[in-house]
Amino acid sequence: MSALQTEAARLAELIRGAESVVALTGAGISVPSGIPDFRSPGTGLWANVNPMEVAHIDVFRRDPERFWRFYGERFQALERKAPNPAHEALAKLERAGLLDAVITQNIDRLHARAGSRRLVEVHGTIDHSSCLRCRARYPLAVVRARQLTDAGGVPRCDCGSALKPDVVLFGEYLPPEAITQAEQLAQAADLMLCIGSSLEVYPVAELPALTLGAGGRIAILTRGSTPYDARATVRCGGDVVQELGAVLAALGI
């Protein structure tokens, strides 16, 4: 049995024995879909741009054209991406009754498109944008169409105000309902699967500690080190698609 199969078998056994399993996912689960993570040297989203200059709420309010020059390109790139087998593996675990929910830091909609039903998007989603003045909300297709027809490249509400994507920008708080739900799931979990996350961005990085503090276990499947490595019952650092595929095989799914 290979090292991958051994770790997959250990994780499958933990999943079978747990009454409540939740997944916490970060940018690394979407890298196989062709979406860069944030901080990898040379390839990360923030490798060549200062996020405080393009993705801060103050930039949106002060200079929506500058904001949308950056975010418009990102929207266009994300629209063409499809879920990968790692996203699909979590949806299969949920359908099999072995996963209660997915908590994700990602805004790319790929978990939903893969079929995950109980999904907590703590950083929001690109699926829609809203007007901060009148609170009207528009789906992504309408936002993209309005952006393409606006002279300044800014999608606008019917009231004339610039639309803001319903994602958490720098300088904003996480949605209270989403983080409360995530905390409740973490505290109730016997096992948390931490997938593709550096577990360094707070307050989401506190979620594994809630599971551990309540007597649960964590399994980490991500490249690079995390602050929780020494406390993980299972630690995998390879390709998330291969690793989750091996876990499904060990479970007979």
Tens-of-pLDDT digits for all 253 residues of the chain? 687 888 899 999 999 999 999 999 999 999 999 987 655 444 445 445 666 677 899 999 999 999 998 888 777 777 788 999 999 999 999 999 999 999 999 999 999 999 999 999 999 998 899 999 999 999 988 998 999 999 999 999 999 999 999 999 989 999 999 999 999 999 999 999 999 999 998 889 999 999 999 999 999 999 989 999 999 999 998 899 999 999 999 999 9
Q: Which of 56, 87, 123, 128 is catalytic?
A: 123
Q: Is 123 a catalytic residue?
A: yes
Assign domain 1-35+83-123+174-253 one CATH number from 3.40.50.720, 3.40.50.300, 3.40.50.1220, 3.20.20.140. Answer: 3.40.50.1220
Q: Taking the complete model, does pTM exceed 0.85, yes or no?
A: yes
Question: Read out DSSP for the chain?
Answer: --HHHHHHHHHHHHHHH-S-EEEEE-GGGTGGGT---SSSTTTSTTSSS-HHHHSBHHHHHH-HHHHHHHHHHHHHHHHT----HHHHHHHHHHHTT---EEEE---S-HHHHHT--SEEETTEEEEEEEETTT--EEEHHHHHHHHHHSTTS--B-TTSPBEEEEE--BT-PPPHHHHHHHHHHHHH-SEEEEES--S-STTGGGHHHHHHHTT-EEEEE-SS--TTGGG-SEEE-S-HHHHHHHHHHHHT-
Query: Selecting from 3.30.1600.10, 3.40.50.300, 3.40.50.2300, 3.40.1440.60, what CATH number does the domain 37-80+125-167 have?
Result: 3.30.1600.10
